[in-house]
Copies of this chain bind each other. A is one copy, B any other.
């Protein structure tokens, strides 16, 4: 009778971390019971729960995410996907605020955040398999441009996602969270009007970005509501960069020397505008009032500090994460618009 040699291989390794099996043995219960405690402890007697908790603490047990993922078919992580030319985002001061907010909001749920860039076609090709294989459970999509190709990819992959800002040029229902750009712009322009300004110019954001479009629309709307005749010579369009703000302001001042206020669609551009104004010898806010948008760090560092509309980044990131988790949990898409807040400093 030959003895069966059951190739017990058991990789030799220095002290493997404890498994659910060890915990079960220590607590004198079965693996099933430990697993039940791990996911909330329903249908577990108080005595068992306590024994398991004690064993977990004693052994320093941490669940093995790979094993869990394998059976639950869930990655247990979420992606922060930058679908945009690198520089545009990485130089945007709002970007880090958003990243920080999302990281924190997810940390509360114990969900790791994976950062992925998809600025070029090559990068998109590389990450598509990653996404369609569901190596993350959902995606926070950061893209400011019209028609990001990622929206289509994500839909096809069947991955839940939430956009930051309204995605332009998309058919069908897309989840997004955005600040109320139009209402924010209106409030700022209204504030300028009410503080007695009469010739209010604007430097808008790029017209292929939702913020750019909406803020310009808000500007026009308020003026119309107040019976001010539209004057296209008072409108410049920038690209959110410092330089475009400076250049835009220069053109505005050349065209309409007696303007007495300007609503600039981003703080960075507003800072550039400040420089252009200063160069002509005009004083801010005495001669020209300047209103920005974002309340990014440059706003308080600018000279004079900028009056601006604060974007509620904390709430935006929290809401994005909340929505994403809801969608991963099976809920349908939704859109959330959050109010902005006027921050009065010295420039207006």
Instruction: Please list the residues of chain A having a beta carbon within 8 angstroms of any beta carbon in chain B.
Output: 13, 17, 60, 62-67, 69-70, 73, 75, 77, 80, 86, 90-91, 93, 95-97, 99-100, 103-104, 107, 110, 112-117, 123, 126, 129-130, 132-135, 242-243, 271-272, 275, 297, 301, 303
Contacts and interface: CB of A to CB of B under 8 A. Distances in A.
Contact of A112 (B62, B135, B275): B135
Given A69-B69, A96-B96, 11 more contacts: A13-B73, A17-B134, A62-B133, A66-B70, A67-B70, A90-B96, A104-B117, A107-B117, A114-B114, A242-B301, A271-B301
A80 B297 contact: no
A100 B117 contact: yes
A66 B17 CA distance: 18
A28 to B, nearest CB: 24
Nearest to A74: B66
Contacts of A80: 115
> Assembly of this chain: how many copies?
2
Contact of A75 (B66, B86, B134, B272): B66
B297 A275 contact: no
Contact of A17 (B67, B133, B243, B297): B133
A112 B103 contact: no
A295 to B, nearest CB: 13
Contacts of A93: 91
Contacts of A100: 86, 90, 117
Contacts of A77: 114
A34 to B, nearest CB: 16
Contacts of A271: 301
Contacts of A112: 114, 116, 130, 135
A103 B115 contact: yes
A90 B107 CA distance: 17
Contact of A133 (B64, B126, B134): B64
A70 to B, nearest CB: 4
Contacts of A301: 242-243, 271-272
A313 to B, nearest CB: 11
Contact of A117 (B64, B103, B272): B103
A135 B103 contact: no
Nearest to A301: B242
Contact of A70 (B70, B90, B117): B70
A93 B66 CA distance: 35
A261 B284 CA distance: 30
A110 B127 CA distance: 9
